[in-house]
Each structure stands twice: as structure tokens, then as C-alpha cells.
């Protein structure tokens, strides 16, 4: 009963100055909401980054050919660099932990059908390419082992290529023309839409699957070759690349790092040329998880500052209240109230402000996901070009409420209210009753 009476008295005292109490609650409200919002947004960004890394396959090792530094390129003529078919065969023969090994060759080309054409990427590979890149067939079939072995002039279209070159007809059975080689390829399959893979730090460039046409790698080797020549006036330069990438998948996650070490050791002769890069998504995923924890701690500290400011607001308002109610404190002490009763009175008022701020802050925090998604969609409709220029992780991020953030934010808000309300309460309790009664 005593605590209930103290609570009623505290609420009544706060309602005497509603605007001042509301502004104090607002400080705690902002602090609690910011804790939940910032952690939710950081969790959403982290999950999107991890999803992109996981889409590469945690049991995958990718070896990419990269253009060497300019001082290692021939000033004119053709510079051979990157991975070779011989190295691919060597890795397959000597690494027992491999489950699949996929050679990949990529060339920028123009594709034509009747009067329609587009610039895209011609990708030569094997049937396993669809599995390791998570491509799904919509119609027809992906390239087969038989088509690769027989060097058949067949191709599989990405969904957007099919939509651009064949807007009104079924592409299956039609023939795509490559003017650079005066060559035709018969369409045997069309893929479902595949999201782009985002760039991941400095380890992996963004990769789009929108304008791809896939053909058997042996067909590409026979009909197009390894050399790409670029002409500029009377001079020319070029490059000779046998394979742009080798994608390896291993038997289990425990084999990833040992296999990556074997690969790096086997290809160490490329260090001088600096023309390959080994990417291990499992290592990137572990780094992303560590970064996630650091990011969340940082965001939590930023949000804690907001709560600290709210706590200072509570202390400020309680000190002002103590000064205003000096005579009331003196009367209560004269009538027999003990110091702990005065302390309890002011602590209850501070706690009420904190609890109200905490509850409303939690309600606002829970609205983080729908509000951010709504704002993102409105911005995308109003400014589509600006939105398209943003990184994919920003365009697709969806805040994810961290469940533990809700009780933590509420507990901290209550703790802040009690801690910052304690000094004014003790100061009120230590007043001399006689001096307090004389206060005007």
C-alpha cells in the first residue's frame, strides 16, 4: 500500500507539469527507439552481406584471373596471363578433396537475332556451372556433357537476354548470331532470373548474370580461341587468357581452408605476374560475422549515448523539481516523513518517466522494419535513378529486430532513470526541515 500511495503521488506530481514531463519522457523515448533501430538496421545490413557471401557457397574456392599491373604488360602485342587449362587439369588430378571443378571463360561480345542486338557476356563452361552459380533453368536445358564433348554450337540464354532478343517468340531452337566471329549458336535453354552477386570488399567484384549467354567451354575454345585483340588506330594490343576462373567445391567445410592452401601453393608461380586471385567465401563469411559483432557494438554505443542524454534530462528535471518543492519536502519531514520516504518519492517519479519513455520507445522500435521498407519503396518510386545507383546491400537491406535489444533497451532506460534520479532524490532527503520550511 505504501508503494502504491507513493506511485500515485509521484504520477500526480508529474501531471502538474505535463509539458515538462513529456519532454523528459521524449529523451528516454528517443534513446530506447534508437537502440532498437540502430541494432535492427545493422543486423539487416550484416545479414544481407552474409547472404551475398553465402550465395557464393561456403564450400567453394574461386581462383580468378586478374589483369597484371601495367608494368608487367607488353607495351604492344598480346600479353598472355591468368589461369591455364593445364593448371586446371593439374588441380583436378592432385587435390583429392575436390567434389567438382568448373573451368570458366568469359568474353564480351555482341549478340544478334534478326534486327535486334545487345552487348553481353559470352560464358564458356561445363554443366556444373549452373549448380555452383545457382542458375535455374526455366525452359529447355542447360549445356550437357555430350554437347561439351562434341563441341556443339549451342547456347543457353539468361532471362533478360531472352526477353530483349525474343520479346514475342519462344527462343528455343532459334539461332543467335555473333558478328565478331560470323558464327551462329542454337538456343537450347532459357534461365530464370538470377540476382546479381554484389562486390564483397576487395576480394570479389560484383557480377551480373543479366546479359549472359552460356556455351560449352570446348566449343568456345575451338570456335573463338583464347586471344582477344583490341585495335587503336594503327597499333593493337591484346590479351591471351585460357580461363578467367576456376571454381572448386570441396567435400566438406573442414576441407575448405586446407584445400585453399594447397591451391595457393600449387599456383605460387603466379605471384611474380600478380595475375590471379584466390577467393575463399568461408573466410569472407567468418570476417563478415566478426565485423557484424563489431558493428553492432559500435551501433549500441552510439544508441547508448542517446540514453545517456535522456538520463541527463531526467536529472535536470528532477533537480528543478526538488528546488520547486523545497517547502513541500520540509512539511513532509516536519510531519514525520523519513529520509528514505523522500528518496523513494523522487526515485518513483524518475522511474515513472523512464518506464513511460521505455515503453513508447519499444513500440516505436518495433515499427522500424515497416517504416524503413515504406520509406525505401517511396524513395525508389520518386527517385529510381538515384536508388539504382546505390549499392545493392543498401537497396535491399531490411531491418531485422534483434530480440535481445528490446529487454536490454528497456532495462537500460529504467537503470538510467534510477541512476540519474538518485542524486536529486538524495539531495532532497538531506534538506534541513527547518530551512526547507522557511523557503519561499
**For residue 249, what pLDDT band results from cuts at 50, 70 and 90?**
confident
Any domain includes 391: yes
Q: Are residues 268 and 127 in the same domain?
A: yes
* Residue of 22, 89, 102, 18 whose CA lies nearest to 56: 102
Rounded distance between C-alpha atoms, residue 352 and residue 34, angstroms:
20
Rounded distance between C-alpha atoms, residue 415 and residue 409, angstroms:
10
Q: Are residues 337 and 222 in the same domain?
A: no
Any domain includes 146: yes
- More confident site: 85 or 45: 85
Q: Are residues 366 and 432 in the same domain?
A: yes
Q: Are residues 269 and 132 in the same domain?
A: yes
Alpha-helical (H) ranges within 224-255 are none
From 68-77, 222-231, 269-278, the region with the lowest mean pLDDT: 68-77
From 65-74, 90-99, 108-117, 388-397, the region with the lowest mean pLDDT: 388-397
Q: Are residues 227 and 317 in the same domain?
A: no
* Residue of 423, 422, 428 whose CA lies nearest to 351: 422
Q: What is the pLDDT of residues 144-195, one digit of tens each?
A: 999 999 999 999 999 999 999 998 899 999 999 998 878 899 999 999 988 7
Q: Are residues 184 and 95 in the same domain?
A: yes
**Mean pLDDT (whole number) for 277-302:** 69
* Residue of 56, 54, 61 whose CA lies nearest to 289: 54
**For residue 54, what pLDDT band results from cuts at 50, 70 and 90?**
low
> Given this model, what pLDDT does residue 301 score?
73
Q: What is the pLDDT of residues 192-236, one digit of tens each?
A: 988 766 555 444 555 778 889 999 999 999 988 887 765 555 555
Which of 200-204, 262-266, 415-419 is most confident?
A: 262-266
Q: Are residues 134 and 25 in the same domain?
A: no
Rounded distance between C-alpha atoms, residue 285 and residue 208, angstroms:
21
Q: Are residues 243 and 146 in the same domain?
A: yes
Question: The C-alpha cell of 232 is what?
Answer: 587503336
Q: In sequence order, which residues have a C-beta less than 8 Å from that of residue 102 and are 6 or more positions away?
A: 125, 126, 128, 129, 132, 246, 247, 248
pLDDT at position 23 over 80: no
pLDDT at position 105 over 70: yes
Report the domain count for the chain: 2
> Given this model, what pLDDT does residue 3 score?
55
**For residue 2, what pLDDT band results from cuts at 50, 70 and 90?**
low
Q: Which residues pair with 359 in a beta bridge?
A: none
Which of 26-30, 172-176, 235-239, 286-290 is most confident?
A: 172-176
Q: In sequence order, which residues have a C-beta less than 8 Å from that of residue 327 and are 6 or more positions away?
A: 436, 437, 439, 440
Q: Are residues 254 and 187 in the same domain?
A: yes
Average of per-residue pLDDT values in the chain? 78
Q: Which range marks the domain in which residue 197 is found?
A: 67-274
Q: Are 31 and 414 in contact (CB under 8 A)?
A: no
pLDDT at position 368 over 60: yes
Q: Are 158 and 194 in contact (CB under 8 A)?
A: yes
> Given this model, what pLDDT does residue 324 score?
65
Any domain includes 62: no
- More confident site: 159 or 421: 159
Q: Are residues 132 and 267 in the same domain?
A: yes
Q: Are residues 157 and 216 in the same domain?
A: yes
- More confident site: 76 or 43: 43
Of 204, 239, 274, the last residue of a domain is 274
Rounded distance between C-alpha atoms, residue 311 and residue 417, angstroms:
6
Rounded distance between C-alpha atoms, residue 307 and residue 301, angstroms:
10
> Given this model, what pLDDT does residue 36 score?
82
pLDDT at position 437 over 60: no
Q: In sequence order, which residues have a C-beta less than 8 Å from that of residue 342 and are 6 or more positions away?
A: 329, 332, 333, 425, 428, 429
Any domain includes 168: yes
Any domain includes 60: no
- More confident site: 356 or 232: 356
> Given this model, what pLDDT does residue 214 score?
95
Of 249, 274, 299, the last residue of a domain is 274
Q: Are 186 and 154 in contact (CB under 8 A)?
A: yes
- More confident site: 7 or 406: 406
Any domain includes 372: yes
Any domain includes 280: no
DSSP secondary structure string for all residues of 39-103 = HHHHHHHHHHHHHHHHHT-TTEEEEEE-PPPGGGS-SSEEEE-SB-HHHHHHHHHH-TTEEEEEE
Amino acid at each position: 500500500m505504501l508503494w502504491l500511495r507513493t506511485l500515485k503521488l509521484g504520477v500526480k506530481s508529474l501531471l502538474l507539469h505535463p509539458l515538462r514531463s513529456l519532454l523528459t519522457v521524449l529523451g528516454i523515448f528517443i534513446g530506447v527507439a534508437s537502440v532498437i533501430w540502430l541494432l535492427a538496421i545493422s543486423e539487416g545490413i550484416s545479414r544481407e552481406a552474409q547472404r551475398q557471401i553465402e550465395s557464393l557457397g561456403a564450400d567453394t574456392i574461386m581462383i580468378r584471373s586478374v589483369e597484371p599491373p601495367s608494368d608487367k604488360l607488353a607495351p604492344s602485342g598480346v600479353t598472355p596471363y591468368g589461369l591455364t587449362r593445364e593448371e586446371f587439369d593439374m588441380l583436378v588430378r592432385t587435390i583429392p578433396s575436390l567434389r567438382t571443378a568448373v573451368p570458366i571463360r568469359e568474353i564480351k561480345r555482341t549478340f544478334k537475332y534478326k534486327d535486334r542486338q545487345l552487348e553481353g557476356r559470352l560464358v564458356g563452361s561445363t554443366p556444373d556451372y549452373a549448380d555452383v552459380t545457382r542458375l535455374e533453368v526455366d525452359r529447355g536445358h542447360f549445356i550437357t556433357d555430350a554437347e561439351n564433348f562434341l563441341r556443339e554450337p549451342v547456347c543457353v540464354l539468361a532471362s533478360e537476354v531472352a526477353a530483349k532478343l525474343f520479346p514475342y517468340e519462344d527462343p528455343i531452337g532459334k539461332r543467335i548470331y555473333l558478328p565478331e566471329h560470323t558464327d551462329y549458336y542454337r538456343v537450347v535453354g532459357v534461365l530464370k532470373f538470377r540476382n546479381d552477386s554484389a562486390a564483397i570488399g576487395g576480394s570479389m567484384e560484383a557480377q551480373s548474370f543479366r546479359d549472359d549467354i552460356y556455351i560449352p567451354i570446348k566449343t568456345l575454345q575451338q570456335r573463338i580461341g583464347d586471344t582477344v585483340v583490341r585495335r587503336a588506330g594503327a597499333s593493337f594490343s591484346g590479351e591471351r587468357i585460357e580461363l578467367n576462373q576456376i571454381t572448386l567445391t570441396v567435400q566438406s567445410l573442414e576441407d575448405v581452408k586446407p584445400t585453399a592452401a594447397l591451391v595457393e601453393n600449387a599456383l605460387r608461380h603466379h605471384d611474380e605476374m600478380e595475375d590471379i586471385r584466390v577467393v575463399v567465401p568461408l573466410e569472407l563469411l567468418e570476417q563478415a560475422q566478426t565485423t557484424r559483432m563489431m558493428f553492432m557494438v559500435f551501433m549500441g554505443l552510439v544508441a547508448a549515448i542517446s540514453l545517456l542524454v535522456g538520463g541527463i534530462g531526467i536529472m535536470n528535471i528532477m533537480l528543478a523539481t526538488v528546488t520547486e518543492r523545497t517547502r513541500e519536502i520540509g512539511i513532509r519531514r516536519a510531519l514525520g516523513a523519513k529520509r528514505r520516504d523522500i528518496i523513494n518519492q523522487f526515485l518513483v517519479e524518475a522511474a515513472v518517466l523512464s518506464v513511460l519513455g521505455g515503453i513508447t520507445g519499444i513500440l516505436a522500435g518495433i515499427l522500424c522494419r515497416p517504416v524503413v521498407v515504406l520509406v525505401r519503396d517511396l524513395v525508389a518510386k520518386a527517385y529510381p535513378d538515384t536508388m539504382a545507383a546505390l549499392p545493392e546491400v543498401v537497396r535491399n537491406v531490411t531491418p531485422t529486430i534483434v530480440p535481445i535489444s528490446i529487454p536490454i533497451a528497456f532495462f537500460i532506460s529504467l537503470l538510467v532513470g534510477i541512476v540519474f534520479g538518485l542524486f536529486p532524490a538524495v539531495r532532497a532527503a538531506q534538506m534541513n526541515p527547518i530551512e526547507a520550511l522557511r523557503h519561499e
